[in-house]
Structure 1
Amino acid sequence: MTTALYRRYRPDTFDQVIGQEHVTEPLKAALRANRVTHAYLFSGPRGCGKTTSARILARCLNCAQGPTDTPCGQCESCRELATGGPGSLDVVEIDAASHGGVDDARDLRERATFAPVRDRYKIFIIDEAHMVTNQGFNALLKLVEEPPEHVKFVFATTEPERVIGTIRSRTHHYPFRLVPPDVLGPYLTTLCAEEHVNVGDGVLTLVMRAGGGSVRDTLSVLDQLMAGAIDGQVTYQTAVALLGYTDSALLDQSVDALAGGDGAAAFRVVERMVESGHDPRRFVEDLLQRLRDLLIIAVAGDGARDVLAD
């Protein structure tokens, strides 16, 4: 069975995390200066690197050569926490969506009193932290405020406003953001080369649009297209069909009809769109996007390149 693309290419160091330099650089500086705090809050949209960065931070803190901003990758702790590794007993990941109650918080509080089995720190990564109940947060409050020297917390959430203020105020908050196309595009091009898959013109633009700036979602979309690649080729027509977008030829014909004031031609395009099985709502969204791009080009001229995603 093939491992999902986003799992195979999950970063193992902060230098491999793309589009989040505003987070990774301060974290690396704190590691170099030995100014790592006891609790962090990583927030942002799904699939942008919050949990991955929490694992990398744990790797940096428990590396035999550390704490360091660049894990050695050779020690037992680094190997256990690497992509595809078995995980470490001293790095505990908790899914708050299913373990966010007060009893779970009390259990965590009890586990935190025990020293690490082998490594420097016992690190608790609490994913989907907004799902912890108020009672659960209150049970953790004293522990997060004054943890034992060997304990670190990383809370990861897509909804930081739902993490109670008394917990937020005791953490260092790092907001993650969606990755822009000018960063994601070159990364996808390199990845396709490593996977020995050729993609047609415009395919990666569609992939990035479908992913919406989320690296994980984008890689999932690309993985789907690669899985159906014929002779290592992903064509624009295949991408349009699988992702449900409107063929660019139909959009161009619609724009030409509107520009020429030719109502009959516009309705013929709509008829072809329906006959070909395109979703009318998607057609309208794609046409509005095309008109928006053309408006930007008309207004900004050469500067439009900096604004348009494609």
Structure 2
Amino acid sequence: MSRKRVKHKKKIKENLQILIGKVDMAADGYGFFIPDDPKEKDVFIPKNKLNGASHKDKVKVTIEYFRGKKEARVVEILERGYSKIVGRVEKSRFFAYVIPFVKRFGFDIYIPKKYSEDLKDDDVVICEITKYQEKSKNPEGKIIKILGNLNDKGIENEIVIEKYEIRREFPKSVKKNLSRDSFELFKNPGKRTDFRDLFTVTIDGETARDFDDAISIHRLENGYKLFIHIADVSHFVRPDSRLDKEAYRRGTSIYFPEFAIPMLPEELSNDLCSLRPGEDRLTITAEIDYDEKGNRVNANFYQSVIKSDYRLTYNYVN
């Protein structure tokens, strides 16, 4: 090869764009590179350029061109996206595999005999990855917890909780003094408009456990007056507090058929912020006037206190 050609190849290599970001795998085995830099666009990664990377891995890539189209090549894995996986067991005589429920992970995990002797087919397990995939070898792991069997009642709930790393318990730093602090805040509501004399009801599903909104309505001479009362969560959850940050991390309450994992501790979600009948509760109220045709003509908003009269359900109310 001539010096001129070698120099040209070296120049191309030096000019390769290097980016850092995460891998977003497809179930078919290829992936997309999601750059950390928001100014950069996502780039396709073919199977032969993943170089052992998998879903959610943080990687360094070079940007290349194949037949005129942009592609990313993984040149270094900086941080693994998964250290453990939930999956089901397929057992053989001398070893086992864990088949991940996260399909985009892309690999079955080999479990050596010393970690697989007590396993059965279709056991649902949490597997710690001890050695990641390389070339033609599958990743290797060990079992850290057996959640049950695929045929067990309610196992789907356990799979979802582990698959999406849903935290059931609140950290001690959040729960510490929560009841005392919340009760103190409840006793000191600040200046509020008193709507406890209004006839007020909540309307929710038959199995609802928390009631975060209520209504009152009156017929006027030329229309209607509607009051919408929303539990004043902001009175108890102060900005940038540990409770606020934990609620932000959770994002929402998660409802399963038999139970719920709340966004806020039960002292709030099922008590002080639940508009239960016959109990004083702190709310934000929208007072809205409508004409006889249902057009809104006026609205006012209040920090308020209410006392719900009845807990109604969708099946009961026409």
Q: TM-score range by the shorter chain?
A: under 0.3
Q: Tell me which protein shows more helix as a share of its residues.
A: 1
TM-score (norm 2): 0.21
| Structure ID, larger Rg | 2
TM-score (norm 1): 0.21
Where relative contact order (Cα < 8 A, 6+ residues apart) is larger, the structure is 1
